[in-house]
Amino acid sequence: MTKPFDILLWDVDGTLLDFLAAEDISIRSLFKDFDLGVCTDEMLCLYSAINADYWKRLERGEMSKKEILVKRFETFFSQVGIRSVDCDAFDKAYQKRLGETVVFRDNSYELVKSLKGVIPQYAASNGTIVAQTGKLTRSGLIHLLDGVFLSEKLGAEKPSVLFFDKVFETIPTVDRERILIVGDSLTSDILGAKNAGIQSCWYNPSHKPNTTDIKPDFEIEHLSEIKKILDIN
């Protein structure tokens, strides 16, 4: 019996790995390392909002990744009234710390392991090379995946069709409608899939309402549900 998909693409942050948890751990620890006092819950919420806004600008092509990585911290420290922070140095330390911090979503490691050899699996991420290489290596996922595609190396960000065109230059040639990407971002993963002509699955564990006109082909609340979509026991 023919399976519905030939290739599986995984988003990393917010999908296979819990980005917000890693962000929390990394920012709080760097406040100590940089002798900035205590990072409060309110500060962390503010940073998360600022960071999300800058990544949206990246997705829309309004700013480069190099710009947003430092600008987000310049904006954050300015708003919380902390002066004299070398934001470039802070960001470099942050990227490294993120790479050292692994928090799995659901049963992602066991799931990817169970699918190894059953369907080719690739990571497709807008995250930085330093952070993502560290996370995927430390988590052990690097040894389970058939390949890793990072936007910095490809020279294009999701949801750009160029990102996916670069991916498809490398993986075996298959019908694009038989490629599925799983991700938590409507504006990055799901819109990117639509742009590239592939199928999409929105990982939405918090049951967030979709107030956009970006419609995924599938929606799941737990990663294990992907097996049903793949028609794999």
DSSP string of 90-136? HHHHHHHHHHT---B-TTHHHHHHHHTTTS-EEEEE-S-HHHHHHHH
State how many domains the chain has.
Answer: 2
Both 143 and 156 in one domain: the answer is yes
1 in any annotated domain: no
CB 39 within 8 A of CB 77: no
Question: Which tokens go with 73?
Answer: 């911290």
Both 113 and 222 in one domain: the answer is yes
40 in any annotated domain: yes
pTM of the model: 0.93
SS3 label, residue 104? strand
**Domain boundary residue among 99, 131, 163?**
99
Q: How far apart are CA 167 and CA 103, in angstroms?
A: 26
11 is catalytic: yes
**Domain boundary residue among 72, 99, 126?**
99
Q: What is the CATH number of the domain that holds 46?
A: 1.10.150.240
Cα torsion for 142, 217, 23, 81, to the nearest 10°?
150
- Counted residue by residue, the chain has a size of 233
Both 33 and 12 in one domain: the answer is no
Both 126 and 211 in one domain: the answer is yes
CB 131 within 8 A of CB 99: yes
Angle of helix 65-80 versus helix 41-59 axis, rounded to 10: 150
Both 24 and 13 in one domain: the answer is no
**Domain boundary residue among 62, 78, 99?**
99
Q: What is the CATH number of the domain that holds 123?
A: 3.40.50.1000
Residue 54 CA to chain centroid, in angstroms?
14
Q: How far apart are CA 123 and CA 148, in angstroms?
A: 5
pLDDT for 1: 54
Both 62 and 163 in one domain: the answer is no
61 in any annotated domain: yes
Partners of residue 10 on adjacent β-strands: 123, 182
Partners of residue 121 on adjacent β-strands: 8
Both 117 and 155 in one domain: the answer is yes
38 in any annotated domain: yes
Q: How far apart are CA 199 and CA 217, in angstroms?
A: 6
94 in any annotated domain: yes
2 in any annotated domain: no
Both 139 and 196 in one domain: the answer is yes
Residue 95 lies in domain: 19-99
Both 24 and 12 in one domain: the answer is no
pLDDT for 105: 97
pLDDT for 172: 79
Both 193 and 132 in one domain: the answer is yes
Both 66 and 48 in one domain: the answer is yes
**Helix/strand/coil percent split, the chain, to 5:** 50, 10, 35
The catalytic residue among 11, 18, 24, 189 is 11
168 in any annotated domain: yes
Q: How far apart are CA 9 and CA 11, in angstroms?
A: 7
Both 222 and 149 in one domain: the answer is yes
> pLDDT by residue for the chain (233 residues), tens digit each?
578 999 999 999 999 999 999 999 999 999 999 999 999 999 999 999 999 999 999 999 999 999 999 999 999 999 999 998 999 999 999 999 999 999 999 999 999 999 999 999 999 999 999 999 999 999 999 999 999 999 999 999 999 999 999 999 999 778 999 999 999 999 999 999 999 999 999 999 999 999 999 999 999 999 999 999 999 87
